[in-house]
Structure 1
Amino acid sequence: MYILPRICSRHLRQLLGKSFFRYASTSSQDVPHVCIVGSGPAGFYTAQQILKGHPAARVDILEKLPVPFGLVRFGVAPDHPEVKNVIHTFTTTARNQRCTFIGNVEVGKDISIEDLQKAYTAVVLAYGADDDRTLAIKGEDSPNVISARSFVGWFNGLPQDKDLPVDLDVENVVILGQGNVALDVARILLTPISILQKTDISQHALDALSRSRVKKVYIVGRRGPLQVAFTIKELREMTKLPDCRPVIHKEDVENLDKVIKDLPRPRRRLTELLYKTCMEPSDTDTHLWSQASKEWELRFRLSPIEINEREGKVTGVKLAVNQLQGDDLINKKAVATSETEHIDCGLVFRSIGYKSIPIDPILPFDTRKGIIPNIKGRVKEKPGLYCSGWVSTGPVGVILNTMTGGFETGKIVLKDLEDGIITSEGKRGNEMIKEILESKGKQMVTFSDWDKIDEEEIKRGSVFGKPREKIADISEMLRVAKS
C-alpha cells in the first residue's frame, strides 16, 4: 500500500499556484462570466488566456456576423492558407465547454454595452478596425477609387463587400500605400487565374479577375525605400510572381548598400532584398522578367493631391513630389515640394490604414486615433470594461502581435478578478442576454450552427475544385445555420 506524503498548505500553494485556492472554492453564484465582443484573433486569444488561467470562468464570444474568425477569414489573402491555420486553435477554444460562441449579434444595435455590463463580470471589446483612413483629396469619391480594405473583403467573401463595384477593364492601377495590404491587393490583381482558382477566393471575384485587363500596378508611398511598411515575406512573393516583373528605379536604391549594415535586422533583410532585386538580380530572374507580360512598380516620395477623372471615369492621379527630412535613417518626415507628377490609371486603391469606430455611445472613444482610450487594456474610467487588439492599439502588427496583446488583456482580467476589482455577484452571463435577444426575435448562431455553414462551404468549394466557397450572403448563412 502506498502512503501519500503529507504536504503543508504552504507547499501546496507553491505547487498549484497562488490563485488555486481562491478559484477552487468558487461557488456557482460566483463563477466569473466574461463577454468578448469580436471573434477575430484578438477575441479568441483573450478568451484562450482567460479559460486557461481560471478553472471556473465562462467566456462568451459575441460576433456581429453569423460566422467566426474575423480577419483570419476575411482579411488574410486566399493565397496565404498557412496563415489561416490558427483557425484550428480558435476552434479548440470555441469547443471548450466553458466557451460559448454567439453569432449574428451586433453590440450597440441588438444589445447595448450597458446590458452586457449588467450580465457579465467583465466585458472585453475586441471588435477590430472596420473603417478606413481617407485621403481627403479631390476626386476621392469618384467611381473606381476603392478602399483596399473593401477590395480584400470583396475577394474574401465579406458580406458587406460582395457587391463592390470594381471595374477591372483597365490596364494601369495605382495603389496608394506601401504596407502588406497594398502588396496583397497588387498580388491578387497580378497572380495568374490558374493559381487563384485553387484557393478559397470568392467565385464572384475569380470570375471578375479572369476578365481583368490589368497589366501594370504602381505601388506608391509618400516616403522612401527605408520607410516601407510591407515585410520581406510579402516583397519576396512579389518578386517571384509568375509572368510578372518588378520595376524598382536605380536612383531610389543605389545608395542603400552604404547604410544596410546600420539597420535593425528585419529592416536590414528587407532593404537588402529591395537593393538586390534592382541592382543585382540573378540571371534566372532577369531572363524570366524579360519575358513577363505584366509588371508592378514601386514609386517613392509621392503624396496624392488629386484624383483626375473624365466623363465619370478615373484617368490618373496627380501627386506631389516629397523631400524627406530628419536625421534618423528610418523615421523621416515627408514634406511636399512644389513639384508634381502624374500617373495615368483607370483604377485607384486607397491603402493608408484602418481605424476603429465607436459602437455604443457609452464608450469613451478617441476619434483622432480611432481607438478606445485604455491603460494596458483597461478602458479608462470604466471598471469592468477592457479592450484588446486593434481597437485598443490601432491597426499595427501581425497576428503574432495580436496574440501577445490578447494574452496580456486576458491576464489583466484575471488579475482584476483575483484582486477583487471586479466581482461576479448577480452576474448571469449569456442566460441574461439571450432573454433580451430572444425578446427581440433575434436569431443567434451557435458554434454548432457554424459547423453547418462550414460544411456547406466546403461542399460548394469542391464543385469548383477549391478548399471552400464562402457564403457571402447573411440571410443564406442564417438559413444554412437553421437547417
Structure 2
Amino acid sequence: MAFAITQTCCNDATCVSVCPVNCIRPTPEEQAFGSTEMLHIDPETCIDCGACADACPVDAVFPVDSLPAGQQEYAAMNAAYFERTEAEGEAEAQDTGDGSGPNFHPWGEPVFDRVLPSDFGPLRVAIVGTGPAGMYAAQDLLLHTRAEVTLIDRLPTAGGLIRYGVAPDHPATKKIGDTFARFLTHPRVRLHLGLDVGRDITPEELAAHHDAVVYAVGAAADRRLGIPGEDRVGSLSATDFVAWYNGHPDVAPDAVDLSTERVVVVGNGNVALDVARLLVSDPETLTGTEIARYALAELRRSKVREVVLLGRRGPDDAAYTRPELLALKHLPEVDLVVDDHDPRVGAVVDGSRPNGKAAVLRDVAREAVDWSVPPDASGRRRIVLRFLSTPLELCGDADLRAVRATGGDGELLIPAGLALRAIGYRGVPQTGLPYDEATGTVPHERGRVTGTAGAYVVGWIKRGPSGGIGANRVCAAETVGTLLADAVAGALPAPTAGTKRFHRLARRRSHR
C-alpha cells in the first residue's frame, strides 16, 4: 500500500523533507518545482511509513486504499506523474521554464543557508502582511536568526489569503494557518493589526525604527475585462465575491444578490472553480465552516440553478488545476456539463494525453446548450464549462441582464443576472516603493527593492499573482537570503529610533 497526495496539496514541500526514501516529486531543488499543480508520491518507491501524512500542514496525504470513491483518481494522478517519458518531462520543463507559464519565476541560487547568525548583529525586521508569504519570511528569520520581527497587517485579523481567500469548504487548506499562528506569539514577535502602512503610518516612520522592512502585501486588486457594461449592477469581481463569503471587512454584507437563476463566471482558473462550486453546493454543507453568516444566509435564499464558466482558453490550456477540476465532478446533486458549441472542444478532450487537463473531462456530459431556455428550477443544479469563448459586453439597463459573447457558434446572448470576472489578481502601487505598471509588481533584485535600501518584497507583489501557498516558501527563502547577505555586507541602513517607541506609535495609530 502506498500513500497519495490529493486535492488540497499546497506545494509547501514539508512532506519532501521528511520522506526517508525520497519518493515525492518534484522537490524544491528540481526545475519543475513550483510549476506543477501538486506534489506526487511514487507508488513504486513509497514504503508506507506515513511520515508525509503526519507532516502535511493541509491534510492532503492519505493511504491509497482508504481514498473514497470520489478521490480514487488522485492515486492514478500520482502514479501517472512517474510514468511520463523522459521526453515528456523535458517538454514540460521547457513549457514552464521560459517565462510564458503562469507559475514561472526565475529563482536564483539560494544564499540563505550560507549566512550564520554570528555574521551580523541582532536585526529588527518589520514584515508588512501576515499572509503565507509574510509568515514564511517570519519563520525563516525566527528559526535561523536572532532577529526581532514586527508583524503588521491593515486588517483586524491575521492570515491574509489563508483567512480571506480560501473557500470555506476547504477547511484542510486553512489548517496551514495553524502552522503560521504559532509564530504570532513568538517571544521575538510583536503583532500590530489594523495598521495600514501608507495611511496610518508612513514607510519612512517604519524604516526609521527597523533595520529592514519586508513588504508581503500580495495582489490586492483584480484584473478587469475592459468591455462595455462592466460597471453595471450585477457585475462583480470574483475577488470581491470571495472576500464577501469570507467576511472581509472591505466588502459590505449586502454586496451580493443571488436572486438570479443563472450566473456567468468569466475565467477558468481555480478561483473561478471555487466561486462556481460555492454557488451550486448545498448551503447546509457550509454550516460550521468559517463562511460569513450573512453569506450563508444569502446562499440559503439563493435562486441560482446554473453557473456558466466562460473561458477564452481550450480545455487543455485552462488555468485551473486538475485536482480542482476533478472536485467539480463529484459535487453531490450537481451536474457538470461541457458546452459542445465548438467541435475543437470535443476533439481536444478526446485526444488529450492521459495526464492532461482535458482528459479529466472525458466522461463529462457534452451538450449544445440552448441559452434561450432558462435553467431548470425543479431539477439539479449544474455547472456549464464553455471553452473557447470571449465576453464582448455585459448587457442590460441599470442592471445586468445578459452577457454577450462569441465562440464557435458565433455571437450569442447568455441571460444572467450576475457576472463575476475571475481573470486574475493584480498588485497595486505601494506608498514609497517603485512600481511596474505592466506587471503590477515592485521592481526588485532577488527580493531587494530597486533603489530603496532596507526595503524588500516577497510573495505576489514580488513575482506577480502566480503559484499557490507553497510557492511562497521558496520565494521567502530567496528574499530572506538577500536580506541577510545585505546585513553581513553592512548594507542595511541603521535605525534612528528604538523598538519600544515604534510600538507606542503603532498602538496610537492602529484601527484595531
Q: Is contact 1:176-1:350 (8 Å) kept?
A: yes
Structure 1 position 429, deviation (Å):
5.5
Q: Which residue pairs with 1:316 in the alignment?
A: 402
Structure 1 residues 164 and 418: alpha-carbon distance in aligned structure 2, compared to 1, 3 A threshold: farther
Structure 1 residues 292 and 401: alpha-carbon distance in aligned structure 2, compared to 1, 3 A threshold: farther
Q: Which residue pairs with 1:255 in the alignment?
A: 347
Q: Is contact 2:201-2:509 (8 Å) kept?
A: no
Q: Which residue pairs with 1:306 in the alignment?
A: 393
Alignment counterpart, residue 340 of structure 1, candidates 399, 411, 416: 411
Q: Which residue pairs with 1:455 in the alignment?
A: none
Answering whether residue 119 of structure 2 is matched by residue 33 of structure 1, we say: no
Higher RCO structure, 1 or 2 (CA under 8 Å, sep 6+):
1
Q: Is contact 1:353-1:395 (8 Å) kept?
A: yes
Alignment counterpart, residue 22 of structure 1, candidates 98, 105, 118: 118
Q: Which amino acid aligns with 1:302?
A: S
Q: Which amino acid aligns with 1:318?
A: R
Answering whether residue 407 of structure 2 is matched by residue 407 of structure 1, we say: no
Structure 1 position 427, deviation (Å):
5.1
Structure 1 position 399, deviation (Å):
0.4
Alignment counterpart, residue 356 of structure 1, candidates 427, 431, 434: 427
Structure 1 position 382, deviation (Å):
1.3
Q: Which amino acid aligns with 1:367?
A: E
Answering whether residue 447 of structure 2 is matched by residue 377 of structure 1, we say: yes
Q: Is contact 1:256-1:275 (8 Å) kept?
A: no
Q: Which residue pairs with 1:50 in the alignment?
A: 141
Q: Deviations over 1:167-202 (max 9, x none)?
A: 211111100011111111111100002211232211
Q: What TM-score do you get using the length of structure 1 for normalisation?
A: 0.76
Q: Which amino acid aligns with 1:22?
A: S
Query: How far apart, in 2, do the equivalents of 1:21 and 1:122 lie?
Result: 16
Q: Is contact 2:315-2:349 (8 Å) kept?
A: no
Query: How far apart, in 2, do the equivalents of 1:406 and 1:295 lie?
Result: 40
Structure 1 position 36, deviation (Å):
0.6
Structure 1 residues 426 and 347: alpha-carbon distance in aligned structure 2, compared to 1, 3 A threshold: closer
Unmatched runs of 5 consecutive residues or more in structure 1: 1-16, 280-290, 323-336, 445-477, 479-483
Structure 1 position 162, deviation (Å):
3.3
Q: Which residue pairs with 1:451 in the alignment?
A: none
Alignment counterpart, residue 241 of structure 1, candidates 319, 331, 338: 331
Q: Which residue pairs with 2:106 in the alignment?
A: none
Q: Is contact 1:38-1:62 (8 Å) kept?
A: yes
Q: Which amino acid aligns with 2:125?
A: V
Q: Which residue pairs with 2:372 in the alignment?
A: none
Answering whether residue 213 of structure 2 is matched by residue 142 of structure 1, we say: no
Structure 1 residues 304 and 19: alpha-carbon distance in aligned structure 2, compared to 1, 3 A threshold: closer
Q: What TM-score do you get using the length of structure 2 for normalisation?
A: 0.72
Q: Which residue pairs with 1:116 in the alignment?
A: 206
Q: Is contact 1:123-1:386 (8 Å) kept?
A: yes
Q: CA RMSD in A?
A: 2.3
Look up the SS of the partner of 1:120 in the other structure.
coil
Query: How far apart, in 1, do the equivalents of 2:406 and 2:358 lie?
Result: 25
Unmatched runs of 5 consecutive residues or more in structure 2: 1-112, 367-377
Structure 1 position 314, deviation (Å):
1.4
Answering whether residue 363 of structure 2 is matched by residue 276 of structure 1, we say: yes
Structure 1 residues 21 and 256: alpha-carbon distance in aligned structure 2, compared to 1, 3 A threshold: closer
**CA radius of gyration, larger in:** 1
Q: Which residue pairs with 1:454 in the alignment?
A: none
Alignment counterpart, residue 316 of structure 2, candidates 226, 229, 242: 226
Q: Deviations over 1:43-71 (max 9, x none)?
A: 000111112221x2111111101210011
Look up the SS of the partner of 2:140 in the other structure.
helix
Structure 1 residues 154 and 18: alpha-carbon distance in aligned structure 2, compared to 1, 3 A threshold: closer
Look up the SS of the partner of 1:227 in the other structure.
coil
Alignment counterpart, residue 173 of structure 2, candidates 83, 86, 101: 83
Query: How far apart, in 2, do the equivalents of 1:434 and 1:43 lie?
Result: 19
Q: Is contact 1:33-1:429 (8 Å) kept?
A: no
Q: Which amino acid aligns with 1:88?
A: D
Answering whether residue 188 of structure 2 is matched by residue 102 of structure 1, we say: no
Structure 1 position 257, deviation (Å):
5.8
Query: How far apart, in 2, do the equivalents of 1:18 and 1:192 lie?
Result: 52
Look up the SS of the partner of 1:62 in the other structure.
strand
Identity of aligned residues (%): 35
1:367-446 paired onto structure 2 within 5 Å: 367-422=437-492, 425-426=494-495, 428=497, 430-437=499-506, 441-443=508-510
Look up the SS of the partner of 1:248 in the other structure.
strand
Query: How far apart, in 1, do the equivalents of 2:349 and 2:236 lie?
Result: 36
Structure 1 position 31, deviation (Å):
2.0
Q: Is contact 1:50-1:413 (8 Å) kept?
A: no
Q: Is contact 2:316-2:349 (8 Å) kept?
A: no
1:65-214 paired onto structure 2 within 5 Å: 65-214=155-304
Q: Deviations over 1:218-245 (max 9, x none)?
A: 0011121121111122111111111110
Q: Is contact 1:307-1:314 (8 Å) kept?
A: yes
Structure 1 residues 88 and 301: alpha-carbon distance in aligned structure 2, compared to 1, 3 A threshold: same
Q: Is contact 1:244-1:292 (8 Å) kept?
A: no
Q: Is contact 2:244-2:255 (8 Å) kept?
A: no
Structure 1 position 39, deviation (Å):
0.7
Q: Which amino acid aligns with 1:301?
A: L
Query: How far apart, in 1, do the equivalents of 2:117 and 2:158 lie?
Result: 35
Query: How far apart, in 1, do the equivalents of 2:152 and 2:492 lie?
Result: 21
